[in-house]
Amino acid sequence: MMGHMPVRLTLLCLSAYCLPAADPARIKEAIARIDARGAELVRLSDQIWRYAETALGETRSAKALADFAEREGFRLERDVAGLPTSFAATYGSGRPVIGILAEYDALPGISQQATPVKEALVAGGAGHGCGHNLFGVASLGAALAVKESRAAGKLRGTSNCSARRPKNPSTARCT
């Protein structure tokens, strides 16, 4: 549905948080890692688009993202801070700790098919005019690229992709 937008957003997330601008070889390698996963990321983004679940009700979206992260070797903590639609996916150990926030909630009342004309998927239903179906997957894709670089011995530290800010930040953990 959204073409390669998740791949481009992943690159934006990754370059903004993780890659030194002075190292073009590392940037090129990260782009190759993300491009290799592009079709998977697009499918996951399309899946989140179809679910179109609003804030704190994104049970299928959270499960899809968390399950993907777990299959990719991240340690998963679900229901972070008592929120059933939250998770933290962690890979590696030590410093630096790179935390990336993933949001994937839809907005009420803007259900839309992936067409250039107004055509609701579900009349009066929620939709992703906010782009969080892209942002959540892009954030996870950035964490995945960092994880793969760490697994290859190119980076040190911890990657953490946390989804959903907790109501009480003092109970959140990034390891």
Peptide bond into 24 cis (omega under 30): no
* Domains in the chain: boundaries: 5-171
Tell me if the domain spanning 5-171 has CATH number 3.30.70.60: no
> What whole-number distance in Å separates Cα of residue 26 and Cα of residue 135?
23
* HSE value, Cβ hemisphere, 13 Å, CA-based, for 63: 6
pTM of the model: 0.80
φ and ψ of 149, to 5 deg: -65, -40
Per-residue pLDDT tens listing for the chain (175 residues): 445 555 555 655 555 545 555 577 877 887 888 888 889 999 999 999 999 999 999 999 999 999 999 999 999 999 999 999 999 999 988 888 878 888 899 999 999 888 889 899 899 999 988 888 888 898 888 888 888 888 888 777 777 776 654 444 444 343 3
> What whole-number distance in Å separates Cα of residue 51 and Cα of residue 59?
9
